[in-house]
Chains A and B, each alone.
Chain A
Amino acid sequence: DAGVIQSPRHEVTEMGQEVTLRCKPISGHNSLFWYRQTMMRGLELLIYFNNNVPIDDSGMPEDRFSAKMPNASFSTLKIQPSEPRDSAVYFCASSTYTGFNEQFFGPGTRLTVL
Chain B
Amino acid sequence: EDQVTQSPEALRLQEGESSSLNCSYTVSGLRGLFWYRQDPGKGPEFLFTLYSAGEEKEKERLKATLTKKESFLHITAPKPEDSATYLCAVVGTGFQKLVFGTGTRLLVSP
- Residues of A whose CB lies within 8 Å of any CB of B are 4, 31, 33, 42-45, 48, 50, 55-56, 91, 93, 95, 97, 99-108
Q: With the chains together, A103 CA to B99 CA distance in Å?
A: 12
Residue in A31, A33, A43 whose CB lies within 8 Å of B87:
A43
Inter-subunit contact A107/B100 (CB<8 Å): no
B42 to chain A, nearest CB (A): 6
Which residues 37-77 in B have Cβ within 8 Å of A in the complex? 41-46, 49
Q: Is B34 an interface residue (CB 8 A)?
A: yes
Q: With the chains together, A56 CA to B13 CA distance in Å?
A: 40
Q: With the chains together, A100 CA to B51 CA distance in Å?
A: 11
Q: With the chains together, A48 CA to B49 CA distance in Å?
A: 20
Mostly helix, strand, loop or mixed at chain A's interface? strand
- Contact residues on B (Cβ < 8 Å of other chain), bracket: 20 to 34
Annotate B80-110 by CB proximity to A: 1 below 8 A, 0 otherwise: 0000000101010011111111110000000
B5 to chain A, nearest CB (A): 11
**Which residue on chain B has the smallest CB distance to residue A43?**
B100
Inter-subunit contact A48/B96 (CB<8 Å): yes
Inter-subunit contact B42/A108 (CB<8 Å): yes
Inter-subunit contact A56/B43 (CB<8 Å): no
